Amino acid sequence: MTTRFVRCYALLMLLLLAGLGAAERAFAQTNSQPIRRVLSTASKNVLLYQKNIPSISCQEHIVARQIVHNKVRSQTISDSVIRVVRDGSPVHPLSEVREYFSIDGKPAAPGIEISFPVLVSGAFSEGIWGFVSPAALACLDYSFDPNSTANRGAILFKSDKDKAALPECARFVGTTGKLTLNNYGRIIGVERTVPPEVAKRLGYAYNAAITFASVTLGNNDYQLPVHTYARDVTGQFEFTADYSSCKLFTSTVTLEMANQSLISLAGTGN
């Protein structure tokens, strides 16, 4: 009787372990991967996204504030439709077109444009490619975030001082930031800061961030922006945008994936 009980208990434990989901199994992974392999997977996934994403439209909610002495001095709230259009260009295959329909709770005039002191542009088209492109990989120094976990990893990046003098690396000088990835090498967040003088000279946001989430369109899942944030170098102007209700307006395409296997981001190799 005791032997039979032990065997039944062991069988039950095996069944329970076999039933663990991918997230639980990810925690059990201990083998780290070289950082360049992780970056290569992320880069391929971004390229495949740019190759496969069809033309889509999303609802966009923007809040732009001017903050002085920790108080909101002025605020603009707008609602719009942003269209991500595939135009067939081999260099810039995706473009973003925005149409406002409400500004501060009132109907927007047809064709109106709003000039924000600071904003995040290109979140759907090229928002993350700039940090995993061949140029970025050649000019930035990457390291695993020591606070990374088994199923939610982060890679820190900063400009490589040894390459700062190279013409092709000039636009990265002083840049710092972080890429957050899931276990499949998909980027789920990016943050970056540029030096104040660069922000002033080029009109860049001093701080900017994009959060991504998996969105099902047709029969495929795409990693799309769901939230963006930007702040100017003075700290007075802030911009946030939230995206929802994304829809296809072309035929469904087949999404390719660069790597379907789980990856570990807890390593320290280069």
pLDDT at residue 148 greater than cutoff 80: no
Q: What is the pLDDT of residue 150?
A: 52
With a cut of 80, say whether residue 240 has pLDDT above it.
Answer: yes
**pLDDT score of 176 more than 70:** yes
Query: In the chain, what are the domain boundaries?
Result: 31-248
Which residues on adjacent β-strands are paired with residue 247? Answer: 57
Least confidently predicted of 29-38, 188-197, 234-243: 29-38
Question: What's the mean pLDDT when you consider all of the chain?
Answer: 79
Residue of 93, 97, 58, 61 whose CA lies nearest to 79: 61
Confidence of residue 152 (pLDDT cuts 50, 70, 90): low
Report, as an integer, the average pLDDT of 256-267. Answer: 40
In this predicted structure, the answer to whether residue 156 has a pLDDT above a threshold of 90 is yes
Q: Which helix (H) or strand (E) holds 226?
A: strand 220-231
pLDDT, greater one: 20 or 38:
38
* pLDDT digit string, tens, across residues 183-219: 888 999 999 999 998 888 878 899 999 999 999 998 8
Residue 129, token pair as written in the block: 């490619």
Q: What's the confidence (pLDDT) of residue 19? A: 33
pLDDT at 56: 93
**pTM attached to this predicted model:** 0.79
In terms of pLDDT, which residue wins out, 131 or 18?
131
Band (pLDDT 50/70/90 cuts) for residue 147 is confident
Which residues fall within 8 angstroms of residue 226, CB to CB, at 6 or more apart? 211, 212, 213, 215, 242, 243, 244
145-182 residues labelled b (16+ CB within 10 A) or e (exposed) = eeebebbbbbbbbbbbeebeeeeebebbbebbbbbbbb
- Region 255-266: mean pLDDT is 40
Q: How confident is the model at residue 32 (pLDDT cuts 50, 70, 90)?
A: low
What is the rounded distance in angstroms from the CA atom of residue 126 to the CA atom of residue 263?
24
Architecture per CATH, 31-248: Clam (2.50)
Backbone angles phi, psi at 257, to 5 degrees: -125, 135
DSSP 131-188: HHSHHHHHHEEEEE-TT--SSSEEEEEEE-GGGTTSGGGGGGTT-EEEEEE-TTS-EE
117 contacts 237 by C-beta, under 8 angstroms: yes
Residue 139 has pLDDT above 50, yes or no: yes
pLDDT band for position 86 (50/70/90)?
confident
